[in-house]
Homo-oligomer: A and B are copies of this chain.
């Protein structure tokens, strides 16, 4: 039996215990982990310093270094997040669709944990605490595989989680950690379908693609969004500018940030107006010929270029926006269908027929009328937590909350019932 198979077996055994653990006991464990985090702050920061020293030696980018970094306030934040998860409602145990069938069987669907989650993520030690907390809350065991850049931080974080679980009388193996940078182990985890019920990639498009291609376990795919806003002349341009700017610049590295603005041909006067606002935020533009004509002279200092053949299939993840002029709403919809990743797309209009047509015809995970695409987020959607954002269509779409870490089983009670 390989190390990973053993981990799988242990995780499965732990998952049975967790599935039968009361909400109160699960919450007690979450609070114990939070306390342990605070109590272990010095040790956590020391381990994190080791990761940072290696990162600095490798000359990592400031952005990556920031993702690696833990400090006192971030540790405190993680502890507080766990306490917030403890306060959320527990979806496990809920019974749905209860009924008595004609054959006399009393039947319902009961929400139960999924079982064992395999979570693969990149250089963010906070994910270790975050996902362990969400898994524990929903009675799932987890096998974690974090980025090699954070292996020292992850090691101590998982140790303290396991210590806290053990102290609460819960199985430490509910949270396990692949303590090796060997990439072959990711491949092995993705095929551990005997024990692992669901793979959650937390990272960029490449990681999601890898999981989709290699996994024999169901994967929550996402990690990428090419997001669109389409504007009609009836929109309130002044407020529409604020929405476009918000969608583009509020957090440009997010997958729900705006990538492409589609402008109806009789609304092209919007182009220079929105460009002026975007220029003030340092946004660059990629323009079709018609959009370039509509823009006229670019605002002073703004970088403007012709849109290349792949620009409308690019997730910018930065301060770049593509602009294309379309003949009508159906051309906008066709463009979105061809270029979107089914993440988040919206319309800016005052016309009710256009709004409904767009909502009906665009089949992205989130579709908006007169709102920023940046709202596609578990917290913003009031889910209390965000496990992942799915852009595939099975099980869950868009932001996933605690409920999406559960499945159901059919519970049937008969009086020695036989099928005719």
Contact = CB atoms under 8 A, between A and B. Distances in A.
A371 B414 contact: yes
Given A371-B413, A374-B419, A395-B395, 14 more contacts: A16-B337, A19-B363, A20-B360, A107-B381, A197-B392, A197-B393, A198-B394, A246-B418, A355-B413, A367-B411, A368-B412, A369-B413, A397-B409, A399-B410
B363 A414 contact: no
Interface stretch (A25-33, A120-128, A212-220): A212-220
A62 interface: no
B20 A371 contact: no
Place the interface of chain A in its size category.
35 or more
Contact of A370 (B99, B216, B243, B413): B413
A393 to B, nearest CB: 4
A369 B108 CA distance: 13
B16 A371 contact: no
B105 A371 contact: yes
Contact of A367 (B242, B372, B399, B410): B410
Interface of A: 16, 19-20, 99, 101-103, 105, 107, 112, 114-115, 193, 197-198, 212-213, 216, 218-219, 236, 239-240, 242-243, 246-247, 250, 337, 348, 355, 359-361, 363-372, 374-376, 380-382, 392-395, 397-399, 407-419
Contact of A397 (B250, B348, B407, B417): B407
21 contacts: A19-B361, A105-B375, A107-B382, A213-B216, A218-B219, A218-B392, A242-B418, A243-B417, A250-B418, A359-B411, A363-B409, A364-B409, A366-B409, A366-B410, A367-B410, A370-B415, A371-B412, A374-B419, A381-B410, A395-B395, A399-B410
Contacts of A355: 413
Nearest to A417: B371
A101 B379 CA distance: 10
A382 B397 CA distance: 27
Contacts of A114: 393-394
A48 B359 CA distance: 45
A371 B416 CA distance: 5
A407 B419 contact: no
A212 B198 contact: no
B419 A375 contact: yes
B412 A367 contact: yes
A416 B370 contact: yes
A76 to B, nearest CB: 22
Q: Which 10 interchain pairs have the tightest Cβ spacing?
A: A371-B414, A239-B416, A246-B418, A394-B395, A371-B417, A374-B419, A366-B410, A395-B395, A218-B394, A393-B407
A238 to B, nearest CB: 9
A392 to B, nearest CB: 6
Nearest to A366: B410
Contact of A212 (B20, B193, B398, B414): B193
Contacts of A395: 218, 394-395
